Amino acid sequence: MMGRTTFLGSATFLKSAAFGLVMSTGLLLGQTGAEAAAKTAITVGMAIEPAGLDPTIAAPVAIGQVTWQNIFEGLTTIDKDGKVKPQLAESWQISPDGLTYTFKLRQGVKYHNGVAFDSSVAKYSIDRARGADSVNPQKRYFASIDTVETPDASTLVLKLKQPAGSLLYWLGWPSSTIVEPKSAADNKTTPVGTGPFKFVSWSKGSKVDLARNADYWNKSISLKLDTAAFRFISDPQAQAAALKAGDVDAFPEFGAPELIKSFEGDKRLTTVIGNTELKVVAGMNNTRKPFSDKKVRQALMMAVDRATVVEGAWSGFGTPIGSHYTPNDRGYKDLTGVYPYDAAKAKALLAEAGFPNGFTFTIKAPQMAYAQRTSQVLQAMFAEIGVTMNIETTEFPAKWVADVLKAADYDMTIVAHAEPMDIDIYSRDPYYFNYKNPAFNDVLKKVEMTSDAAGQEKLYGEAQTILSNDVPALFLFVMPKLGVWDGKVKGLWENEPIPSNVLTDVHWEE
Amino acid sequence: MRKALRRPVFLIGLAITLALFAVALVAIVWTPFPPTKMNIVQKLKAPLDFGLLGTDQFGRDVASMLMVGAWNSLSTSILAVLLGASIGTATGVIVAMRRGWLELVVMRGCDIVFAVPPILSAMMLGAFIGSGRFTAIIAIGVFMVPVFARLSLGAALQIWTRDYVTAAVSMGRPKAKITLVHVLPNISNQIIVQVTIQLGLAILTEAGLSFLGLGMPPPTPTWGRMLADAQTFLGQAPWLALMPGLAIALAVLGLNMLGDGLRDLLDPRDNS
């Protein structure tokens, strides 16, 4: 669902064996072919290997980062600027009351296994995602849908129980992609979609291979790649080595900011620093003392110098945030000034709340580098105002999900929330923050009742302001997207409005 | 004494070990900088650029962290080895006294404990009681028990065959008293040598545990975690890995040399 996990093990032996093979064939055939034409294959590195390849049944973002837009497509899609665009739905009409969505579906679209896409497939897929026994990770996004109707093969009608202003955006998510009935059960291991790339093979622990879909429906896109591979390398040092050796052509989410400098001398590689949706926030248990006192939470926020946190934890890469919202998101307000760093004021506020001598608590921090380092910086900052924070490393995801997310048995925790536009998590009940503010919930309800973008953005601004005042979590920074790739590779997304590795436009410069 | 002076292995080992203890003891009362004080402006400074050994990614003084790390590492290791040595030796001499089925049970028990690496038992313990100094001491200590149990059993059994022990038995002395008066003093040399060698091993294991995040929690500096944190900075700040690495290597080398030296020195067969 969020955060980054590292798993040990990479197929170093396989890699070197394959490398040897490539080298020897290269020597036998000479190097004429490679130089003459632009390359049509790419190897993209990823830190985390997903456990399955079906984004509609499991939450890890790594699934979408392999499959979304490459294998699977949705009724709508989200482009590199975070905007909603039509995809399998050519166009749509929304009734004035916002309760009926009529989609005109694209015709002539075929799945990789030959099955034709039509309204019955779309209905099946949406019903599968919202059904009683659905395990869709974003099932609540379909909660507003009352009925799905299919008047004819190219028309899909969604009738809603209440207006859902973000529905079109949600339908663009990896978890909303349209799958067909015959292959749905096996998508976990052999995904079948309508996208520009077909699934070829998955060598567990090493890589996923894709090949161009020659029958891709969208003829306005000319695919330049014949094959693409996602290779999984968890260790940052190994990631850097693979990039330098050319084993991997691109690492869109390079793992260690402190190693970015080591690419500076390399003329072949370029470093592209973009935005992500990864909001690093230190959530507090809002019903547990002393965090139930708003003044305590505000005091802790003022004890934090966000710029120093970014410098210490992530080598200065990253953007401070004042709420659970990123500069990527529409309607963003810079609220870092609401409770800016001021240790003296923080101390005074803490005394006002009844803790002139501070207090002691424990942070449950996952093992990932960003979480551990940020915790250590926070620990030093809290010590300045007399607050003692013990760090308890909590293994992510299993133990963290059980103790913090499910049981909410914690004082403070820290994690990077990866989902875009997920400010609504503060209105969920139950959710691990235990934050309950009816005024905030009202604002978010209004967002769904509003269908015009400007009105929504204004409401999102209100929601951000409430959070920045209430401080249910310490809002720290947005992680950068540290992209490192061969300078000749073009078309990769610089920013990440939604976790993804869209290969549609990727090509090698000649 | 003169014998000791002629043994360079012993002398070097002793010197390193004494230096290690001295640094650890000084760290309790004084370090050049507060070891947990962050100063991010001064981060990743090279040795002599800031302090004696430079700073880490948070701008903390590496020399101060190493000093406190020495104390943490030594105190944990000593407690763990003492725990293992006392339980292990007690078990060994009691088994040597009783023999029979007890010997079988205890020795097979030792085999089982031997089969579980200390890292693994520390992980299991950590899952139950949380990681920290206590977990590390127990995990390493438990691993030491069979080492001392076997050693003391073997040594004690030899003592039990000696004529003066047989004489004591035939005079009706209680076995427990014989163990205390004759057996323990006669195997103490071997135990002391083993304690020294195991201490080196304990330091290495403790570093391993902290490296994996199973040692003392931050901000307490430990050699193992310093090493773990230094990994991704290897390119731009190699001293961050080099310094704790050297510290661990030197400590283990020193203790092993001292152990070897002591063994030669205390060997009654050596008359040269």
Cis peptide before A430 (omega within 30 of 0): yes
* pLDDT band at residue A58 under the 50/70/90 scheme: confident
**Could you give the CA distance from residue B77 to residue B137 in angstroms, rounded to a whole number?**
7
**Interchain contact, B58 vs A379, CB within 8 Å:** no
| Cβ neighbours of A258 in B, within 8 Å | 57, 232-233, 236
Q: What is the mean pLDDT of residues A265-272?
A: 91
Residue in B43, B130, B219 nearest the CB of A392: B130
What is the structure's pLDDT at B270? Answer: 56
**Could you give the CA distance from residue B40 to residue A306 in angstroms, rounded to a whole number?**
12
**What does pLDDT average to over chain B?**
88
**What chain B residue is nearest to A399 in terms of C-alpha separation?**
B127
| Cβ neighbours of A241 in B, within 8 Å | none
* pLDDT band at residue B272 under the 50/70/90 scheme: very low
Which residue spans within A196-299 are E strands per DSSP? 197-203, 207-212, 227-232, 250-251, 269-283
**Could you give the CA distance from residue A199 to residue A190 in angstroms, rounded to a whole number?**
7
Question: Does pLDDT of A36 surpass 60?
Answer: no
**Interchain contact, A256 vs B236, CB within 8 Å:** no
Q: What is the mean pLDDT of residues B111-131?
A: 80
Q: What is the residue whose two structure tokens read 């063994």?
A: B263
B interface mutation test: which of A8, A234, A235, A311 has the most B CBs within 10 A? A311
What is the structure's pLDDT at B49? Answer: 80
Bridge partner residues of A390 (DSSP): A362
Count residue pairs from A and B with Cβ separation < 8 A.
54
What is the structure's pLDDT at A75? Answer: 96
Q: What is the largest CA-CA distance in chain B?
A: 77
**Could you give the CA distance from residue A3 to residue A370 in angstroms, rounded to a whole number?**
10
**Could you give the CA distance from residue A207 to residue A58 in angstroms, rounded to a whole number?**
19
Taking the CA of residue B87 and the nearest CA in chain A, the distance in Å comes to 31
Question: Does pLDDT of A354 surpass 90?
Answer: yes
Helix, strand counts (H, E) of chain B:
11, 0
Residue in A236, A262, A376 nearest the CB of B219: A376
| Cβ neighbours of A383 in B, within 8 Å | 36
Nearest one of B213, B236, A210 to B227, comparing CA atoms = B213
**Dihedral angle at the C-alpha atoms of B64, B66, B68, B72, nearest 10 degrees?**
170
Listed range (A194-203, A381-390, B181-190) with the worst mean pLDDT? B181-190
**Interchain contact, B218 vs A379, CB within 8 Å:** yes
Question: Does pLDDT of A3 surpass 60?
Answer: no
Question: Does pLDDT of B233 surpass 60?
Answer: yes
Residue in B40, B57, B59 nearest the CB of A258: B57
| pLDDT-above-70 percentage for chain B | 97
DSSP assignment string, B210-228: HHTT-SSPTTS--HHHHHH
pLDDT in tens, A166-207: 899 999 999 999 999 999 999 999 999 999 999 999 999 999
Q: Around Cβ A409, how many Cβ atoms within 10 Å?
A: 12
**Could you give the CA distance from residue A311 to residue B47 in angstroms, rounded to a whole number?**
21
* Binding-site residues on chain B for chain A (CB distance < 8 A): 36-38, 40, 43, 57-59, 130-131, 213, 217-219, 231-236
Question: Does pLDDT of A362 surpass 50?
Answer: yes
Question: Does pLDDT of B66 surpass 90?
Answer: yes
Helix, strand counts (H, E) of chain A:
14, 20
Residue in A261, A262, A380 nearest the CB of B38: A380
Question: Does pLDDT of A293 surpass 90?
Answer: yes
What is the structure's pLDDT at B216? Answer: 85
User: What is residue B157's DSSP assignment?
Assistant: H
**What chain B residue is nearest to A240 in terms of C-alpha separation?**
B232
What is the structure's pLDDT at B222? Answer: 92
Q: Is the pTM of this model over 0.90?
A: no
Question: Does pLDDT of B271 surpass 60?
Answer: no
**Interchain contact, B43 vs A312, CB within 8 Å:** yes
**Could you give the CA distance from residue A370 to residue A379 in angstroms, rounded to a whole number?**
14
* pLDDT band at residue B268 under the 50/70/90 scheme: low
pLDDT in tens, A119-170: 999 999 999 999 999 999 888 899 999 999 999 999 999 999 988 888 999 9
Q: How many CA atoms lie within 13 A of A109 on its CB side?
A: 26
Give the ipTM.
0.76
What is the structure's pLDDT at A411? Answer: 97
Question: Does pLDDT of A370 surpass 60?
Answer: yes
What is the structure's pLDDT at A373? Answer: 92
| pLDDT-above-90 percentage for chain A | 74
Question: Does pLDDT of B115 surpass 80?
Answer: yes
What is the structure's pLDDT at A476? Answer: 97
Nearest one of A355, A303, A347, A330 to A476, comparing CA atoms = A303
What is the structure's pLDDT at A5? Answer: 37
pLDDT in tens, A19-35: 444 444 444 444 444 44
What is the structure's pLDDT at A173? Answer: 94
Question: Does pLDDT of A1 surpass 70?
Answer: no
More confident position, B83 or B31: B83
What is the structure's pLDDT at A20? Answer: 44
Question: Does pLDDT of B188 surpass 70?
Answer: yes
